Each structure stands twice: as structure tokens, then as C-alpha cells.
Amino acid sequence: MSTAPRLSPAQEDAVRTWFDAVEIIADHSWGLTDTVVLHVRHAQGESIIKAGGPGNHHIGREITAHEQWTTPWREAGRCARLRHADRELNMLATSYLPGTLVKDHPAADDPDTHRQAGELLARFHAQERTVSKEYESAMDAGRSPGWTATTASTPSPRPGSGTPSPRTITSPRSSCRPMATGSPATGSSTRAGSA
């Protein structure tokens, strides 16, 4: 591999141990941070290499996401597969997934693009759920968690006597805010997190 733009010597060495005969096809880095994104060809095929400097926290989060949360997307062929990762060097390599970013592309305004994004988000959020019998009552009573302090809260319509129905709360990461799903009246999303 010829010298890769902005990779440290240790990161370059790691790429050489991961893949044979590496050739850089394109640099997809945006230049907004020190993250380097390289499309490479090697003896085993094509990959994307992502690397950052020591203070860059994005790569570690992406490694964690690949290790813990991307399974439904990967199984559907909608996400690259993690091939190599090194947290100490702050870098990873994934399989190459052909496609075009929709940013600044005519597909950005295509309703089907947004439908696909919604489908992928639904798969992501469906990975971890808990059923709460208290959530709806707490929301209606104004005892919502602190993260809803800026969220408008209007009681959802319910058939019958007004007894709140249990709600499914999805939160794929402990740092994500929970989302209520499945309105008892309509089956559609309601309130918290649905924007």
C-alpha cells in the first residue's frame, strides 16, 4: 500500500496485516474531523477503512455499533460487515457495500429513500424492547422522565374507560431516549420520540 492520506504509520501497518496488496481506490473522507475513510482494493476483495486520531470518539462508537447493533441490517444486506477493528489504533475495516450517499443527490428528495430509512430504523429499534404498564400513566400525569421536558405531551386517544394500556418502550442503547410505540387506538407511533 502506498502511503495512505492521514493514516498514522501504526494504522498503515495494521492495514498491511489485515489485507494483502492494498490499493487505495478512493478517499471518501469529508474533512470535517480527522476521520479518514478509504475505499480500498486488496487480494481478498474491496473494503472500507476508517481511522481517526487518538481523540476521535466516532470510530469507537462505530466499532461498538457493528459489534452490538447492526445485525438486522447486515442480515438484510443493508449494512457492511465488520472485518477488522482495533480500538487502540482507533480504526476499523468493513466489507465494501456498493452505493451512493444521498446527500446532495436527487434521491435525497425521493419518498422511497425516506421509506427505506424508516424501515431500517424500525428494524434497528425493534432489537430491544420492554413493556411498561406505568409509562402512559406517568406521561399523562406529567411525571415524564427529564428528557421529555421539552417535548409536547398530549394524552393519546384511548377507547373505553380511560385506563392506560401497556406500552412497548424501545431503547437500543442506554443513552438513547425511549420511544413509545403502538397506540392502542390506532397502532401508530405516539408522542415521545416520534417526530
Give the per-residue pLDDT at 181.
Answer: 41
Separation CA 35–CA 58 (nearest Å) = 8
- 66-121: pLDDT as tens digits: 999 999 999 988 999 999 999 999 999 999 999 888 889 999 999 999 999 999 99
Give the per-residue pLDDT at 134.
Answer: 79
**In the predicted structure, residue 148 carries a pLDDT above the cut 90:** no
Give the per-residue pLDDT at 195.
Answer: 32
**In the predicted structure, residue 126 carries a pLDDT above the cut 50:** yes
Q: pTM here? A: 0.65
Domains of the chain: 9-95 (3.30.200.20), 106-146+157-181 (no CATH)
